[in-house]
């Protein structure tokens, strides 16, 4: 991906001090994250674990009613698309990002799937 991602989190032990982290650090921090802002291109995705909500591009707010405590859930996965005119697989590689909330006790998930360019996103759940 050509555009840099910026991920800003607040942690339970330092809720008033946001810090910039790398995507690879999120797995180890996931139980301690209170809020996360994921920025790239002209898009922003905000996850608030305590309030159990997403805010997408500063406008669309989605609130989830989980009865239990939640944590940040995330994955990154790649998807390959092959065009009929191209022999180079690397030229057609696209990345999808999954971010969401996971109920700690039941494992129920609500997540957002975001395309690499940030313009296409989809909402899904496993409740």
Apex 66 CA angle, 11 and 107, nearest 5: 80
State the pLDDT confidence band at 120, using cuts at 50, 70 and 90. Answer: low
Q: Which tens digits make up the pLDDT trace of 99-109? A: 788 887 888 88
What's the confidence (pLDDT) of residue 43? Answer: 80
For the chain, give every domain's residue range: 6-126
Q: Write the CB contacts of 105 (distance below 8 Å, at least 6 apart in sequence).
A: 68, 69
Q: What is the pLDDT of residues 5-22, one digit of tens each?
A: 789 999 999 888 999 998
CA distance 77 to 75: 6
Supply the pTM of this predicted model.
0.69
């Amino acid at each position: 991906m050509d555009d840099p991602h910026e991920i800003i989190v607040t942690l339970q032990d330092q809720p008033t001090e946001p810090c910039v982290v790398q995507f690879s650090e999120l797995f180890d921090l996931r139980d301690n994250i209170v809020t996360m802002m994921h920025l790239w291109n002209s898009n922003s995705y905000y996850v608030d674990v305590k309030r159990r909500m997403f805010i997408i591009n500063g406008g669309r707010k989605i609130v989830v009613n989980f009865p239990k405590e939640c944590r940040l859930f995330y994955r990154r996965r790649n998807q390959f698309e092959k065009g009929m005119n191209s022999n180079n697989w690397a030229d057609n590689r696209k990345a999808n990002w999954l971010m969401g909330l996971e109920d700690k006790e039941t494992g129920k998930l609500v997540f957002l799937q975001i395309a690499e360019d940030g313009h296409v996103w989809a909402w899904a759940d496993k409740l």
